[in-house]
Amino acid sequence: MAATGVSAIEGRHAVVTGGGRGIGAAIARTLTAAGALVTVTGRGEQPLAELVGSGGADGYVLADVTDEAAIQAAIEAAAADRGPVDILVANAGAAESAPFARTDAALFRRMFDVNLMGVVHSVHAVLGPMVEAGGGRIVVIASTAGLTGYRYTSAYCAAKHAAIGLVRSLALETARKGVTVNAVCPGFTDTDLVADSIARIVEKTGMTAAQAEAELVKDNPQGRLVAPDEVADAVLWLCGPGAAAVTGQAIAVAGGEVM
């Protein structure tokens, strides 16, 4: 199955939003290794340029997914350079935590702007051409927070639940148009974002880093952080022919935490 998936994306143009680091960078490297032409987008130039310089992607375009015009222009520029977009991985996201009593409307707007509207803007930029071409793959990197609730992350959970609802609706609209739309939902993953969360826990509670990490993974039956490459492998499979009948799904990569 892996070999078939690789041959199927050879030469296809994939755009990965938020591709400069963490899960996004792992996805870009995996798709590039499988033969895709990969464009990464993000707000910071240095990590994007470093990824391209190391061979992990073919090119990059600066864009903030919360800016509809900017992401539209970025994807149009990428298509002009490398051809129409066959695969969109809407990975860009952000997480903030606070008790609900201290979660104001501005925090909710920030979480929805990135984690939901960032997906909406990115999909708007690629879906029309995909339908006209008769096919495409859209993969949204959501979170187990889109499948269950977590304390102190009400805005983030709400936004990720909304993103998964969008995936399910779009999958029905595109089911007979050759486009599949799915979500991949990682649990706590070994990225800079989680490292920052661990540092905040250490600062606030006095735990050691090991204790803080153990607290994060306590609900994961495997008792560990997910590796970014494990998330990337799930994305690769969804982009191949073996997943042609898979659409509207929210696939947890979380060691059995969510079933």
**Which has the closest alpha carbon to 119: 142, 97, 137?**
142
What's at 193, amino acid-wise? L
CB 91 within 8 A of CB 138: no
Q: Print the SS3 string covering the chain.
A: CHHHHHHHHCCCEEEEECCCCHHHHHHHHHHHHCCCEEEEEECCHHHHHHHHHCCCCCEEEECCCCCHHHHHHHHHHHHHHHCCCCEEEECCCCCCCCCHHHCCHHHHHHHHHHHHHHHHHHHHHHHHHHHHHCCEEEEEECCHHHCCCCCCCHHHHHHHHHHHHHHHHHHHHHCCCCEEEEEEEECCECCHHHHHHHHHHHHHHCCCHHHHHHHHCCCCCCCCCECHHHHHHHHHHHCCHHHCCCCCCEEEECCCCCC
- Catalytic option among 60, 150, 152, 156: 156
As a dihedral over the C-alpha atoms of residue 106, residue 24, residue 17, residue 136, rounded to 10 degrees, the angle is -130
Query: How far is 253 from 237, CA to CA, in rounded Å?
Result: 13
The reply to whether 152 belongs to the active site is no
* Catalytic positions, written as ranges: 156
